[in-house]
Amino acid sequence: MPLKTIAPLRLYQQVAEQIAALIADDEYAVGARLPAERDLALSLGVSRPVVREAMIALELAGIVGVRMGSGAFVVRKPARDGLSGGFGLSLADLGPGPLALVEAREAIECEVAARAAVERSEADLAALAAAIAGMRASAGGEAQGSADRDFHVRLAEATGNAVLVRIVDQLWRELGAALRQRPDGAAGPARGARDAALAEHEAILAALAAGDPVAARGAMRAHLASVRAVLTTPAAAAGPAPGALPEAEGC
């Protein structure tokens, strides 16, 4: 049998594997409530964001379900893979954790917005306005996701830095993919959520039109806070948070 490359697991993936192992070994039965995020973080010696990302991975695998205000519960017992000793979670294929991705976007896109407010041209403003119009006209679905991506990429283009354009595009795509994998990713958003996401993009555009880098940075930070809320709100919670649109809309 040929040797196979061993893919290193990220920290949140290791945590997910440990929790899956406890469930497989009947430490937690189906229907049982898992320890609180804070307690798991303390027991495992990791940060709470790492535990949160592990729970997202387990939720995607259908092993854990999260209920708002109640915590995480075991949904099904995973079967061990006899060859690898793992649980068939495909965790190595998930890429960087979603919270890590949104943190990267917060670090980069807030400054992109500030720089764009100084460097933007009238053509840039027109392109950004057209992207928002496309989001509004599509009212959900793949077309809105495409228009949303166009907004963020056009914003990066307004800085005049091609490297920033590539980085923003890649981060947007990776986080969008992570959001679509969530069990609630296919659910249609409430009208209020769509309106909130559009308002966030319009606030960014207004700051750029005013040539105000401080306001642009703040508007982008507020928008990405909504994206972060999607990742930290359980999939089984009562509906999507502002900016929680399907096909990565509102990203």
Three state DSSP letters for 10-35: CHHHHHHHHHHHHHHCCCCCCCCECC
Q: Is 41 helix (H, G, I), strand (E, B) or coil?
A: helix
Q: What is the dihedral of CA 194, 196, 199, 201, to 10 degrees?
A: -70
Nearest-Å Rg of the Cα atoms of the chain is 20
Structural domains present in the chain: 11-93 (1.10.10.10), 98-248 (1.20.120.530)
pLDDT tens, the chain, 251 aa long:
454 444 556 788 888 888 988 898 889 998 899 998 889 999 889 888 888 888 888 887 788 887 766 788 898 888 765 444 455 555 444 556 677 788 889 999 999 999 999 999 999 999 999 999 998 887 666 666 788 889 999 999 999 999 999 999 988 877 766 655 555 444 444 455 678 889 999 999 999 999 999 999 999 999 999 877 766 665 434 343 333 333 344 56
Comparing C-alpha atoms, which of 16, 33, 34 is closest to residue 78?
16
Rounded Cα–Cα distance for residues 89 and 57 (Å): 8
* Beta bridge partner(s), residue 71: 67
Helices (H), the chain: 11-24, 37-44, 48-60, 98-119, 122-138, 142-157, 162-181, 191-209, 213-232
With beta carbons less than 8 A apart as the criterion, state whether 194 and 139 touch.
Answer: yes
Please tell me what DSSP assigns to residue 246. Answer: G
Rounded Cα–Cα distance for residues 34 and 62 (Å): 15
Burial 212-250 (b: 16+ CB within 10 A, else e): bbebbbbbbebbbebbbebbebbbeeeebbbbbbbbbbb
